Copies of this chain bind each other. A is one copy, B any other.
Amino acid sequence: MKRLWDKGEPLDQRVLRYTAGEDHTLDNRLIHYDVLASIAHAKMLCEESLLSKKDFEAICDGLEKLEIAYKNNEWKISLEDEDVHTALEKKLTEAIGDAGKRIHLGRSRNDQVLAALRLYLIDASIALEKSAIQLAKSLDKLANRNLDLPLPGYTHMQQAMPSSVELWAKAYANEIKDDALGLAQTRRRISKNPLGSAAGFGTPGLNTDREKTRISLGFETVQEPVTSVQLSRGKAEAGLVFELCLLLQDLGKLATDLLLYYTKEFAFITLPENMTTGSSIMPQKRNPDVLELVRGATGTINAALSEILGITSKLSSGYHRDLQRIKAPLFRAIDLADDSVEIMQHLIKDVNFRKENIKLDESIFATEKANQLVINEGISFRDAYLRIAKKLKKK
């Protein structure tokens, strides 16, 4: 993995490594989706009489076997394969002969990669949405476990108004449900069929049918015109990552609150022991590492969004190889969100509020008192405010 000093590699190998990048590793998660999209494409070719029934069946069978073999760890995408698409076409042709060479008619890697990627993103967004809702439910349960427990309501990190564990936890539950809704909305941009746009300008001289592959794959719409497909690269991706930024920001704030409540000085909560770790030098420490890593995750995911926007910005229309660089931050963001939501869901289950340590400062009721002055004496709120303020100052 280290390259800084061992410069012995032959040049062609270096060019391959530089251009293929991490694709051979990243693309493993796309194998299933590339198989799906390739079968849908082959089916359409067959229906349009561009592929014989026999070849179509050989292709289906071959691709499905390759996927099973992959799941059984019988092969992996190698650097020499460059990416999932090349790997599958090569292995398919090795397995079924001439029919394998017919699969790429009427498509290009440019629309092929997008078809697989978008199918993956639809599944990923659904999975993340579900995880988020599950976390929100854990927070609702936390609220319900602590129904009558008061908590200071803070503004400016100062005790401000009376609040409760219920109000605190339900705010997070509600915002995380809102993030889940946001994730669902991003599928509007993802669910567009790119197949048939080929390199970005359609398939001259071929009667391909984009509606057929749309139906096979369950995309909501066909992306039209064909030139729109490459022009839109990165937009759906950025849209998903943006929503994950909001989700992880909510998690980061939740972590910040819990880290504060877990300090010795607040001591509002205990954390489950399996969510804390020890120190290499300080025998007494139980550190809330999970929460700190969740807080730190916002830095990483915000940057993943910047990265995607930075890669696509200012490019001219049409495909550019720069776009390959989107995959790394996209998958990084998805995995980080997936892991963080899941770990927080486990953690939240066992957060325990220490009733005995939660103390509301008396001054926290000042606004309520001012409100009562208004109700009882009919004076204006501003006058009531000033009267209470004067009283407090005297103390």
A351 to B254, CA, bound (A): 29
A171 is contacted by which of B160, B228, B238, B313 (Cβ under 8 Å)? B228
Given A98-B380, A154-B316, A292-B322, 5 additional A-B pairs, CB 8 A: A155-B199, A161-B282, A296-B322, A299-B312, A303-B303
A246 is contacted by which of B235, B254, B279, B365 (Cβ under 8 Å)? B235
A275 to B274, CA, bound (A): 42
Cβ proximity bits A194-225 to B, threshold 8 Å, 1 near / 0 not: 00001111111110000000000000000011
A14 is contacted by which of B235, B288, B343 (Cβ under 8 Å)? B343
A-B pairs, 7 with minimum CB distance: A296-B322, A299-B310, A303-B307, A101-B380, A101-B382, A171-B227, A299-B311
Q: Are A29 and B15 in contact (CB under 8 A)?
A: no
Which residues of chain B come closer than 8 Å to A366, judged between CB atoms? 282-284
Tell me, yes or no, whether A56 is within 8 Å of chain B by CB. Answer: no
A18 is contacted by which of B29, B189, B263, B290 (Cβ under 8 Å)? B290
Interface range for A: 35 or more
Q: Are B93 and A171 in contact (CB under 8 A)?
A: no
Query: How far apart are A107's CB and chain B's nearest CB, in angstroms?
Result: 7
Q: Are A161 and B199 in contact (CB under 8 A)?
A: yes
Given the known interface contacts A105-B374, A231-B175, the answer about A296 and B325 at a Cβ–Cβ threshold of 8 Å is yes
A205 to B162, CA, bound (A): 12
A227 to B328, CA, bound (A): 35
Q: Are A171 and B231 in contact (CB under 8 A)?
A: yes
Given the known interface contacts A283-B366, A311-B300, the answer about A162 and B204 at a Cβ–Cβ threshold of 8 Å is yes
Tell me, yes or no, whether A61 is within 8 Å of chain B by CB. Answer: no
Q: Are B3 and A339 in contact (CB under 8 A)?
A: yes
A170 is contacted by which of B225, B259, B281 (Cβ under 8 Å)? B225
Interface positions of A from 247 to 298, Cβ below 8 Å from B: 249-250, 252-254, 256-257, 259-260, 262-266, 274-275, 277-290, 292-293, 295-298
A274 is contacted by which of B12, B155, B174, B308 (Cβ under 8 Å)? B12
Q: Are A174 and B224 in contact (CB under 8 A)?
A: yes
A266 to B263, CA, bound (A): 9
Query: How far apart are A280's CB and chain B's nearest CB, in angstroms?
Result: 4
A250 to B309, CA, bound (A): 11
A235 to B245, CA, bound (A): 10
A105 to B379, CA, bound (A): 11
Main secondary structure of the interface of A (DSSP, over half): helix
Q: Are B380 and A102 in contact (CB under 8 A)?
A: yes
Which residue from chain B places its CB closest to the CB of A238 in the assembled complex? B246
| Contacts A/B (CB < 8 Å), 28 sampled | A3-B335, A3-B338, A4-B127, A4-B335, A86-B280, A102-B382, A104-B281, A155-B319, A159-B264, A160-B200, A161-B202, A162-B201, A205-B368, A252-B314, A260-B316, A263-B266, A264-B361, A283-B367, A283-B370, A283-B386, A292-B320, A292-B322, A298-B314, A299-B313, A300-B307, A300-B325, A303-B303, A305-B305
Tell me, yes or no, whether A388 is within 8 Å of chain B by CB. Answer: yes
Q: Are A284 and B317 in contact (CB under 8 A)?
A: no
Tell me, yes or no, whether A167 is within 8 Å of chain B by CB. Answer: yes
Q: Are A226 and B318 in contact (CB under 8 A)?
A: no
Q: Are B198 and A281 in contact (CB under 8 A)?
A: yes
Tell me, yes or no, whether A232 is within 8 Å of chain B by CB. Answer: yes
Q: Are B98 and A161 in contact (CB under 8 A)?
A: no
Q: Are B306 and A346 in contact (CB under 8 A)?
A: no
Tell me, yes or no, whether A80 is within 8 Å of chain B by CB. Answer: no
Tell me, yes or no, whether A65 is within 8 Å of chain B by CB. Answer: no
Which residues of chain B come closer than 8 Å to A161, judged between CB atoms? 198-202, 204, 282
Which residue from chain B places its CB closest to the CB of A268 in the assembled complex? B265
Tell me, yes or no, whether A64 is within 8 Å of chain B by CB. Answer: no
Which residue from chain B places its CB closest to the CB of A98 in the assembled complex? B380
